């Protein structure tokens, strides 16, 4: 649509702005449709009543011609391409940055008049709006409008400029202050977001909270859509010593969409609440580096969303067929690959070698044979992402049941579909699962309606392979190839719930999401250094009795999730001595204990 509008703008500019001026007919000059050459050039400009249709809600009532753009009358201003763009900008940007862009444009087309002199809008207002809204123009591949050039058509504060958004900001502040304590201070629109809207929302959120957030892409889907991550931390863009990194992944299966929406809402909530001074949110963000991938499978979502749209068409609707399609359509990526079966099967390697005393079960390398198969670009992008950052903890949000499952997802006996298959960190994983399930409004309740499976005895958590076994899952890969411990959260029976359910689901899951973010500060953390005080990258920290080690990050820092208890920790590195320490973690600890090691060569 925007290409058609641009063509129309170009046509109008050629035919209207470049056409020779027609002589005024009686009464036309009085109505502002034209101006005679005598009055345009000989008379001194004076303040005149503001009467531009799309600009009649400004905070002032008089303007002056010629305006900043050189239009000599209201007729010229309304005939220009700039005015036409203002009339369609809301639709072009899908309502983003509205009415701010229109008000800014009006301040250029019809600037206020004081003492028969034109007052320019403030450059600082223009620059701030451009920073916050440029992504919306980029999303439709449109340049920032030339007539909103902040350097060319706007003035500095010292020149006596005016803020065209001052009235709007004042009204917004009054609206926020009028909210009662029971009403949410963060305003979120609980509707579904298309892929384009999701990208725009995340970019706008990051721009609004640029001091604690930024967005980055980890790659592209099969059909070329961005796998966009939004990050929250007090120093975005880089790892800080001893600050744990945590990730949340949604929409791995394209038709399981609730997790995607919850993560979009969570990003908006974190940004807004941090700005509003919410101490809990500020503490989480100031002490944690959070990465949110709302959609790992945007291509699958596109297909699933089109199925839902078709179901609303009475001529296309077949209720039974749609329900079946809703369960499977869009689950896989555009190559028809199930992304949660597409990761390297390291669990089989672990089972094959677990009885070998010297076999390390952490950081198991990816076998060469894996690359002979079909590896989805989404899978490859996430594997690169997982390997590039020292993630400590993770959750993957799914749908179809109401339960939290944890590794191993692949049964220790290949012919057993339902077999308890624990990792060496069984107790830690159970605690992570409990953290989410217990904080969820209904997940751990015995009287909660389930979706066919029974989790009454375990209060909403289960070992993955005991539920059902599958190979090539993302959670097992995280655990066996990196330091990261990932759980799978099944958010409910309906994979694509109605929009009316989005707000209730947010209320059910908000506390669970926040509690899970806070739970990364559990166990121990520290730095492994040499005698000169330099951090040792790739050193190993082991826990006696647990056959799963963690390795240090670039600067020698590490994190080890542990439950309360007494442990013997050992730090080793190639070419250095071994150092062991006895550590006691009491039940009342609310943050990770600090245990540093100094190794001698």
Where in the sequence numbering do the catalytic residues fall? 490
423, 473 contact by CB (below 8 A): no
Task: Write down the residue that tokens 């290409």 correspond to.
Answer: 3
- Sort residue 451 into left (φ over 0), alpha (ψ -120 to 50) or beta: alpha
Q: Given CA atoms 534, 538, 544, 546 in this order, what sign does their dihedral have?
A: positive
| φ, ψ at 107 (rounded to 5°) | -70, -20
Across 298-451, where does the E strand assignment appear? Answer: 391-398, 401-406
Beta bridge partners of 488: 396, 405
| φ, ψ at 251 (rounded to 5°) | 60, 35
* SS3 at position 51: coil
- Of residues 336, 192, 339, the one with CA closest to residue 252: 339
DSSP state of 500: G
240, 233 contact by CB (below 8 A): yes
Task: Write down the residue that tokens 């590490």 correspond to.
Answer: 558
Q: How far is CA 6 from CA 10, 101, 145, 589, in A?
A: 6, 17, 11, 61
Cα first-last separation, the chain: 67
Separation between Cα atoms, residue 160 and residue 194, nearest integer Å: 43
State the number of CA atoms in the 13 A half-sphere of 470 facing the CB: 15
Name the token pair of 457: 């005895």
- Of residues 556, 555, 404, the one with CA closest to residue 492: 404
Separation between Cα atoms, residue 532 and residue 105, nearest integer Å: 60
Separation between Cα atoms, residue 48 and residue 113, nearest integer Å: 8
């Amino acid at each position: 649509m925007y290409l058609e509008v641009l063509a129309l703008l170009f046509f109008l500019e050629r035919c209207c702005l470049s056409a020779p001026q027609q002589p005024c007919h009686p009464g036309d000059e009085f109505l502002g449709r034209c101006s005679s050459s005598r009055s345009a050039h000989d008379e001194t400009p004076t303040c005149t009543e503001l009467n531009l249709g799309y600009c009649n809600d400004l905070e002032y009532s008089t303007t002056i011609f010629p305006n900043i753009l050189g239009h000599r009358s209201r007729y010229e201003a309304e005939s220009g391409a700039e005015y036409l763009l203002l009339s369609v900008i809301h639709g072009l940007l899908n309502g983003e940055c509205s009415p701010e862009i229109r008000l800014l444009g009006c301040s250029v087309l019809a600037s206020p008049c004081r003492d028969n002199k034109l007052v320019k809008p403030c450059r600082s207002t223009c620059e701030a709006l451009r920073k916050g809204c440029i992504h919306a123009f980029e999303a439709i591949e449109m340049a920032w409008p030339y007539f909103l050039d902040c350097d060319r058509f706007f003035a500095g504060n010292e020149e006596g400029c005016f803020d065209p958004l001052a009235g709007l900001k004042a009204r917004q502040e009054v609206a926020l202050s009028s909210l009662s304590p029971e009403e949410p201070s963060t305003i979120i629109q609980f509707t579904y977001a298309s892929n384009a809207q999701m990208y725009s929302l995340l970019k706008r959120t990051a721009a609004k909270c640029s001091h604690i957030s930024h967005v980055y892409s980890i790659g592209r889907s099969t059909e070329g859509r961005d796998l966009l991550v939004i990050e929250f931390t007090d120093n975005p863009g880089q790892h800080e010593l001893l600050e744990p990194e945590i990730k949340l992944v949604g929409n791995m299966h394209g038709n399981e969409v609730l997790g995607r929406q919850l993560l979009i809402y969570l990003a908006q909530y974190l940004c807004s609440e941090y700005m509003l001074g919410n101490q809990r949110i500020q503490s989480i963000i100031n002490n944690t580096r959070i990465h949110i991938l709302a959609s790992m499978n945007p291509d699958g979502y596109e297909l699933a969303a089109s199925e839902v749209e078709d179901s609303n068409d009475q001529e296309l609707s077949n209720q039974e067929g749609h329900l079946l399609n809703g369960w499977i359509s869009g689950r896989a990526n555009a190559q028809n690959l199930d992304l949660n079966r597409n990761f390297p099967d390291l669990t089989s390697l672990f089972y094959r070698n677990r009885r070998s005393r010297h076999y390390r079960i952490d950081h198991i390398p990816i076998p060469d044979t894996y690359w002979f198969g079909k590896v989805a670009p989404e899978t490859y992008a996430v594997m690169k992402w997982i390997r590039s950052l020292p993630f400590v903890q993770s959750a993957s949000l799914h749908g179809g049941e109401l339960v939290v499952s944890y590794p191993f997802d692949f049964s220790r006996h290949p012919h057993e579909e339902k077999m308890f298959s624990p990792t060496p960190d069984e107790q830690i994983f159970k605690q992570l699962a409990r953290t989410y399930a217990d904080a969820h409004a209904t997940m751990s309740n015995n009287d909660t309606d389930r979706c066919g499976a029974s989790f009454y005895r375990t209060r909403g958590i289960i070992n993955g392979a005991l539920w059902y076994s599958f190979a090539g899952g993302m959670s097992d890969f995280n655990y066996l190839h990196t330091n990261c411990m990932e759980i799978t959260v099944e958010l409910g029976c309906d994979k694509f719930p109605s929009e009316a359910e989005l707000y209730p689901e947010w209320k059910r899951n908000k506390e669970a999401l926040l509690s899970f973010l806070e739970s990364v500060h559990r166990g121990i953390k520290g730095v492994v250094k040499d005698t000169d005080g330099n951090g040792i990258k790739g050193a190993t920290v082991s826990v006696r009795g647990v056959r799963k080690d963690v390795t240090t990050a670039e600067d020698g820092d590490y994190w080890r999730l542990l439950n309360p208890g007494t442990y013997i920790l050992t730090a080793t590195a190639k070419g250095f001595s071994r150092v062991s320490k006895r550590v006691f973690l009491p039940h009342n600890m609310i943050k990770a204990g600090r245990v540093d090691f100094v190794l001698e060569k």
